[in-house]
Amino acid sequence: MPSGFAVWITGLPASGKSTVAAALKREIEARGVTVAILESDSLRQVFTPHPLYTEEERDVFYGAMVYVGRLLTEHEVPVIFDATGNRRKYRERARQQIPRFVEVYVDCPLDVCVARDPKGIYRRAREGAAATVPGFQAMYEPPENPEIVVRGDEEAPEVAARRVAAVLVEKGYLPG
């Protein structure tokens, strides 16, 4: 069974993407498959160390992120994209370039995300120190047809991870 596939976990900042990604990594690795998490905050420090978060910069950043994910999957390394990817076109680019692809939408109300705000993103936006926070000042385009929708305000990350793993098994991407 070829082992390269990608799962893009998308949603608003502070919706629970990283928690679901970590739970999914544990779920996949418990099945004996090593997986790489491509986390946007970490990669941004390398690709755009002084980010401006413009549309142009985001287009380049997500293009580079998809490229890295594609290279890894071509070498049979499964990938979890842990990234807001606020425009559908970023995630669609990954779907077009990575044949074995699943999109997971962590749907969480904005007020819950704002209340969580572990990185202070929404606080900085309210203070005027951040002008392009997806879902707050910048547009966030939710997926039109994700393979899985997770309720970030209601569903335990481990439960969500098991549901994602079940879809990966059903598609033949993961052993059962």
Characterise 53 by phi-psi region: left (phi > 0), alpha (psi -120 to 50), beta (else): left
Query: How do residues 57-107 score in pLDDT, each as one tens digit?
Result: 999 999 999 999 999 999 999 999 999 999 999 999 999 999 999 999 999
Q: What are the φ/ψ torsions at residue 114 (nearest 5 degrees)?
A: -65, -40
Task: Report the interhelical angle of 55-74 vs 40-47 (nearest 10°).
Answer: 110
Angle at 102 between CA 96 and CA 107, to 5 degrees: 115
CB distance 35 to 73 below 8 Å: no
Query: How do residues 121-149 score in pLDDT, each as one tens digit?
Result: 888 888 887 778 888 788 899 999 999 99
Q: What's the CA gap between 174 and 169, in Å, rounded?
A: 5
Distance of CA 80 to the CA centre of its chain: 7
* Domains of the chain, each with CATH number or no CATH: 6-170 (3.40.50.300)
pTM of the predicted model as reported, rounded to 2 decimal places: 0.94
- Give the alpha-carbon dihedral of 86, 87, 90, 94, to 10 degrees: 80
pLDDT band at residue 2 under the 50/70/90 scheme: low
Please compute the mean of the pLDDT values over residues 33-37 and round it to a whole number: 97
CA distances from 107 to 3, 129, 149 (A): 28, 26, 7
